[in-house]
Structure 1
Amino acid sequence: MSFNNIYEVSSSALNAQTIRMNAISSNLANVDSIAGSREEAYKPLKPVFAAQYNKSLAKMEQASVPVQVADIVEIDSLVEGRFEPENPLADKDGYVYYSGINVVNEMADMMSATRSFEANAEVINNVKSMQQSLLRVWEL
């Protein structure tokens, strides 16, 4: 695998984790938001990652498999209705709708995304160090 392939894979992973963190921050920001109907309620966002196989390279040792964000989906099933007839946003039946976001799960997902981002940033730093070592060989 060439240095360029390593940079491509790691940078795609950094981008994917950034998108994941954006979704998590949106979810955490809307954890207590309410709406008057199930359709208007905030629905948690989850990115869907997919491997992007590079089929143009014939040799397996030259192949690279960057990650791509295939989609960002809204999770409808977490929206929960609560009977609160005194709430000004309540529907005709007295229900308001909450996002149903679990803060603990979001925080665990955030820690996982952070660790993945850090690992890929470290890969880029190590490759840069390797390239600098190769350049120093030519100085001798």
Structure 2
Amino acid sequence: MADIKSSSGVTQAIAASAMRAQQARMRIIAENLANSNSTSRSPGGDPYRRQVPIFQPTKVAGATGVHMSRVQPDPTEFKTTYEPGNPGADAKGYVKEPNVDPLIEALDMKEAQRAYEANLNVIETARAMDSRTLDLLKK
């Protein structure tokens, strides 16, 4: 009984750490989407640069879980558009646009949501197994 209970608790702790990591990932994706049209106000300046979450393993209840260790800028080049009247345009009339692709962000968001849901199902299943085990022991 003790091994089953501790195993279930560890499983739940690992899944909870993954849920927190995916929640942080979704916040970064939302920030990227919110700034996907942000350009510089100064001529030739850089616009918003897409942010990418970096995950690392972490110890959770004696096992290995995951956490978002940092956020780093995406080094991908900026897109440019010819808009000579824009205040952010350089001397040649080109405006740098963020390196955020809304389609990629939407796909990343869907992937993060599915991973979150999968980990939630792990927690729910572990709790149901604990409950069923206790019911069996009562008989």
- Scaled by the length of structure 2, the TM-score of the pair is 0.83
CA apart distance, 1:96: 2.1
- Choose the corresponding residue for 1:5, options 10, 34, 38: 10
Corresponding position: 1:16 with 2:21? yes
Task: For 1:99 and 1:40, locate their aligned partners in 2 and report how far apart those are by CA, in whole Å.
Answer: 8
| Matched residue, 2:50 | 44
CA apart distance, 1:52: 2.2
Gaps in structure 2 of 5+ consecutive residues? 1-5
CA apart distance, 1:45: 1.1
CA apart distance, 1:40: 4.3
Gaps in structure 1 of 5+ consecutive residues? 55-61
Matches within 5 A, 1:1-140: 2-35=7-40, 36=42, 40-52=46-58, 64-140=63-139
Q: Percent identity?
A: 29
CA-atom RMSD in angstroms: 2.2
CA apart distance, 1:108: 1.2
- Scaled by the length of structure 1, the TM-score of the pair is 0.82
Q: How many residues align?
A: 133
Alignment-mate amino acid for residue 43 of structure 1: R
Task: For 1:17 and 1:103, locate their aligned partners in 2 and report how far apart those are by CA, in whole Å.
Answer: 18
Alignment-mate amino acid for residue 71 of structure 1: R
